[in-house]
Structure 1
C-alpha cells in the first residue's frame, strides 16, 4: 500500500465523512463536506484539503463558480504541496481561462517545489487551449531543463500542442522520438495535418496506424469533410463499418452532412438507418444534420417529418427547416415556420433572416421581404450583413425591379461585394436588360477579373440583345486574361454509387448508350414543341455545332442515364454545380411530361421539381 493510500485510510477512519468525497457529485455536496472540514480543523491538513480539490479535476469544463470555489479552497491551505499545485494547474487547463495555469506554475517555482511529469502535460494542455505556440515553446524548454522530455505523456502532450498550433514540423520530430507510440500520439498527428488542410498526410498517418479507435476515425472523417472531400468522408465511413467500429453521434453528423453536400439521398438514408439501428441519440446537432441532408438531397417532406420528430428544437434547427422550405420553393410555408419559431419565444439569428429573405426572393414577396429586412434592426438589433443585402438585391432583381435594385446597391451603407453585383447581373440576364447588365458587368470584371461566371452571364445578355460583336469582344478579353469557363457537372446516384457527368466528357463507360438514349428523348420531346435554345452557348460556332454542344450538357446526360437505369415512375434526382440553363430547364419539363417522371434537380441556386411538364420554380429562378 502506498503512503497516500495509507494517509487517506487513516484520515477517513478518524473522519468518516471524508468518505463522501469519493461519491461527491456536485458543488452543494462539496460545500457541506468543506464546512465540516473547517469545523473539524481538517482544512489545515494538506492531504485532506487536496482531496477537496480532486473533485474539481474531475470536471470536464469548470465554470466560473467552480473555479472561484477551487481558488478559495487553495487560499485556505497554508503550505500547499506539489499535488495541490498540480491539481490547480489541471483544473485551469480545462477551463475557459487556461492561461491561469501558468500563474500556479510560477508560484510553484517560487515555493522551491520541483515540478514532476504530471505538472507538464497539463501546462502544455493549457497552452494548447489558448493556442499560444510561443508560451508552449517556453514550457517545452522547462520540460527539457527538468529532464522530462523522454516521458511518453509529456511527449504526447507536446505533439498535440504543436500539431494543434500548426507547427507540424516540430510535432513530427517529437512524434519520431516517441519509443512507444499509442493512439493519442497518432491521433494528434492526424488531427494536426487535418487542421492544416493537409488531409493527404493525415490519411497516410491514418493508414500507417496499427490500431485505430473511434477518436481516430472521427478525426479523419471530420478532416475530410472540413476540406470539402465529402465523397472521401463517406467512403471512409464505409471502411469504418467494414472494420466493425461503432460510430458515434459526432461521426454520423459529419457523414450525414457530407451526404447533404453531395446530394446523395440513398447514402444519406442508409446513414440515417445506421443511426436508428444502433440506437444513437438524435440530439439537436445530429437531428439538424438529418433535416439539412433530406432538404438538400431533394426530399423536403422527409426533412420536415424528421424536424417535427426532434425531441427538442433550437434556432439552428428551425433555421435549417426554414432554409429547406425556401430552397424547394415553399416560400409561404417557410415564412409560417419563421412566425411559429418567433411565437415560441426563440430569437432569430442573422442566418435565420438570410433564410427567410431568400424565401421571399424565391417567392416574389417583395413587400414582406422589406418588412423582414427592417425588422432585423428594429426588433432584434441585428445589423444587416452583406448576405442580407444580397438577398434584397436578389428579391428586387427577380421581381424585375432592376432600377430599384441598382439604386439599393448604390445606397448601401457598406461596400457591396461581388456576389451582390452578381445577383443584379443575373437578374439582368433573366429580364433581358442589356443596359444595366453592361454597367454591372464592367464593375464585376474590375472586382473579379478572373471570375468566368460573370463573363458568361454578360455574354448571354449581349447574345439575347443580338449584340454579337460585343460577344466576340468579351470572348477576346477572356482569352487575353486567361479566363476559362467553369465546366458544368451533374451528379446522379444509382444503387449507392455516384455517377458524375461533365459537359463534353465522354469517359463514362456507358456514354455511347447514354448519348443514344438522349437522341431518342429529343425525338419524343420535339413532338411536343422542343427546339434547342442555343442562346446560352457562349462559343462562336455555327448552329449545328451549338446544337451538339447543348446535347452534351451534363444534366441531359444524367437524365438519359437515369431513364436508362430506373423503372417507370421512379423519381430521378440530380445535383448540378451551376445554374440550370434555359434549354435544359425547358427540356427537363418536357421529359417529365412525356415520360411521366418526377425529376428533382438541385442547381447552384435552388431546387427544381419537374412534374407533368411544369417546374416548381414556375420558370422564376
Structure 2
C-alpha cells in the first residue's frame, strides 16, 4: 500500500458493510485500530453493525462504550444490534441511556425501537414513543408510521393502528402491507380484504408479502375458489422458486382450508425447504386431526441433515403425540428439550403439560407446571384443563384461585377450561358462579364454547330444562355443538322428546355430521323405539353418511395395538376371547350383571352379551392383560365415549386383576383401580 493511497475514515464503512466473513471483518477491524480510526463515529458505527450482524454483541457493545463521542447513528446502530439478536432488554437499556445523556431520537431510532417494544410486550414504552413522535413532528415520516402500525397490531390494538394509517399523508406499499397484515394476524380477514381492495384502487400493485397475507386471509375465510386463484397468481410469477416464504404461506393456506392433499403437493414442489416449511406441514396435519401423518412428517424432517428442529417444531409435533397417546415418544422429546432448556419456553412447556395430561400422567403434568415460568395464563389454562379431563374439578377451581393470587390475568380460555372441569365433576353451582364472574368481573362476553360448556354442565347433571332454556335465550345463534351438547345429555338421561327436538335443530345447521344421527338413534334404541332407529339410520344412509367405527388402542411394550369393535382378525384373537370368557365368569361371581340397554340392536339376549364382550375397549383390555406383566398398569385410548356396561365391567376387571386400568375416551379420563373409577360413575 503506497503512502499516497492510504485508506481514510470514508474507506472503512463500505468495506465493513461488504464483509461476508467474520474473519475478514476482524482483519479490517485490526487495520482500523492500527490506523487510529476506531474512534471515528462513522467507522465505529460500522464496526457495531459488523459485530451485531455476526451475533458478537459483547464486542459490538465494547466498541460502542469505548467511543469518546457518539452521534445518534451510533446509538441507533447499538439499539438495532441488540434487537436483531433478540435482546429486547439490551435495546431498551441503550435507549434509556441515550435519553439519560440527552440525545434526541430521530426517525431511525424510532423505527428501530418500536419493534423492540412489541417483542418485549412493552406497550407503555410504545405509547410513550408515539407521544414523542407526535410532539417532535416525526409522524410525517413513512417509516415511523409503518413501524407504529406494526407495533400496535402486535398488541391487537387495531383501532390505534388504523388511526396511524388514516393520518398518513403518504403511503407506500409497506404501509398497505402493514395494515393488511395487522387485520389478518388479528383474525379479521374481512377488514384485511377491504384494505387490499383499497390498495388496488389507488394503483399500488401487490408484492410477495401482500400475497403472503392474502393466503392467510382466504384460508381464514375458507374460500377455496379464490385461494386457488392466489396459488395460480404465485405460480405465474414463479415466486415459489424465488422465496421459500411464499411456498410456506401456500402450504399454510391449504392447511387452514382443510385440504392437506394440496398442502402436501405444494410442500413437495418447494425447490428448497426450511424448518418453517416442515413446521407448517406438521401443524397442518395436527390441526386437521391427522396426528399419524404429522408424526410421519416429523420423522422425515429428522432425516434431513440440514434442518434443525426449533421451538415451532416442538409446538407442532407434541400435540400430535398427545392426540394418539404416544407417551414414550413425547417423553423422548421432553428429554431432548431438557438438554437445551427449551422445555422452559412457555409455549413448548404448555404443550408438554397438555401431552402429559392427555396421556394420563397428571402428576408429571403438575410437576412440570411448577418448574416453568407462570406469568401468563397459557400454562395455567393447560393444567386446569388437564385437571378437568381427569375429573379433578375441585383442584381445578383451587388452581384458578392460586392463579389469581399470583396476579395472572384470566382470559376466555381460562373460563372454557374451568367450565369444562366443573362439567366433568358435576359442580353445577361452582360452574354457574364461574360463568357469572367471567361476565361481571372480567367483562368477557360468553362465546359459543362457553355456552357449550354450560349446556353440557347442566345437561350432564340432569337439568335438561335449564339447559334448553339457556340455549333458547342465548344472544347468539346456537351452532351444532350447542345442540349436540343438549342431544348428548338427552342420550344420557333418556329424554327422547327433547332429544328429537335438539336433533331437528342440529340437522338444520349441520346435516353432514354422522355422530348426531348416531346419538338420536341411540336414544330411540334405549327407549325401545326401533322404528325410530330404522328411520334415523335410513336417513343417514340416504345422505351417504357412515358411522365412525369405534376403536381402542393399547400400548404393549413399544408397540401400539388398535382394536375395532367386533375385531376377529388379530393374531391373538383366540387368546383375547378366551381371556374375556374367563373374566366374564369371574365378574359374574362377584355380582356383575350385563346391562343390555347398551346393545343398540334388536337381537336375542345371548347375542347381546356377545356384542358387549366384543366392544373395542374390552378387546384392548384383554390384550393388555395377556401381553403385559402382572399388576402393571394398562393404558387404553378410545375414540368414542365408553359405554356404561364396559365402564362397569372395567371396574370389576381392575379388582380381579389387581391392576390400574386407565381409559381415555372422547370425553375424559377414567382411572379404574380396586373396583372403583375416579369419575365416581359420572361422565
Normalised TM-score (structure 1): 0.78
1:220 equivalenced with 2:281 (yes/no)? yes
Deviation, structure 1 residue 197? 3.9
- 1:391-440: CA deviations, max 9, x gaps? 34433433334444445544555555444444444344434445555555
Deviation, structure 1 residue 615? 1.2
Match of 2:233 in 1: 170
Deviation, structure 1 residue 580? 0.8
CA distance in 2, matches of 1:408, 1:431: 18
Q: Out of 6-15 and 354-363, give the one that drifted further.
A: 6-15
Match of 1:277 in 2: 339
Q: How does 1:593-612 map to 2 (within 5 A)?
A: 593-612=655-674
Q: How does 1:65-144 map to 2 (within 5 A)?
A: 65-66=128-129, 69=132, 75=138, 91=147, 94-96=150-152, 107=170, 128=181, 134=196, 138=200
Task: Name the SS of the counterpart of 1:600 in structure 2.
Answer: strand
CA distance in 2, matches of 1:406, 1:60: 48
Match of 1:399 in 2: 461
CA contact (8 A) 1:164 1:191 kept: yes
CA distance in 2, matches of 1:558, 1:33: 72
1:500 equivalenced with 2:568 (yes/no)? no
Call closer, same or farther: CA 1:130–1:484 in 2, change over 3 Å. closer
CA distance in 2, matches of 1:170, 1:211: 20
Deviation, structure 1 residue 140? 12
Deviation, structure 1 residue 255? 1.7
Match of 2:77 in 1: 22
Call closer, same or farther: CA 1:421–1:159 in 2, change over 3 Å. closer
CA contact (8 A) 1:525 1:587 kept: yes
Which 5+ residue runs of structure 2 have no aligned equivalent?
1-6, 18-36, 45-67, 80-90, 120-125, 154-160, 185-191, 218-226
Q: How does 1:169-208 map to 2 (within 5 A)?
A: 169-175=232-238, 178=241, 181=242, 183-184=244-245, 186-207=247-268
Q: Out of 375-384 and 9-18, give the one that drifted further.
A: 9-18
1:352 equivalenced with 2:414 (yes/no)? yes
CA distance in 2, matches of 1:447, 1:308: 43
CA contact (8 A) 2:240 2:270 kept: no
Q: How does 1:530-545 map to 2 (within 5 A)?
A: 530-545=592-607
- 1:227-253: CA deviations, max 9, x gaps? 332222233333333435432222212
CA distance in 2, matches of 1:367, 1:22: 59
CA contact (8 A) 1:168 1:192 kept: no
Match of 1:305 in 2: 367
Deviation, structure 1 residue 286? 1.9
Task: Name the SS of the counterpart of 2:561 in structure 1.
Answer: strand
CA distance in 2, matches of 1:177, 1:219: 15
Match of 1:528 in 2: 590
CA distance in 2, matches of 1:90, 1:407: 50
Residue number among 269, 292, 301 corresponding to 1:240 in the alignment: 301
- 1:438-475: CA deviations, max 9, x gaps? 55555555665554444444444444444444444544
CA distance in 2, matches of 1:325, 1:129: 36
Call closer, same or farther: CA 1:367–1:545 in 2, change over 3 Å. same
Deviation, structure 1 residue 354? 3.0
Deviation, structure 1 residue 196? 4.4
- How many pairs are equivalent? 581
Q: C-alpha root-mean-square deviation of aligned residues, in Å?
A: 4.3
Of structures 1 and 2, the one with the larger relative CO (CA 8 A, separation 6+) is 1
Residue number among 599, 618, 637 corresponding to 1:575 in the alignment: 637
CA contact (8 A) 1:53 1:73 kept: no
Match of 1:148 in 2: none
Call closer, same or farther: CA 1:161–1:580 in 2, change over 3 Å. closer
Which 5+ residue runs of structure 1 have no aligned equivalent?
38-48, 78-83, 109-118, 145-153
Residue number among 383, 405, 412 corresponding to 1:343 in the alignment: 405
- 1:293-340: CA deviations, max 9, x gaps? 111111112111111222324223222222221211112222222222
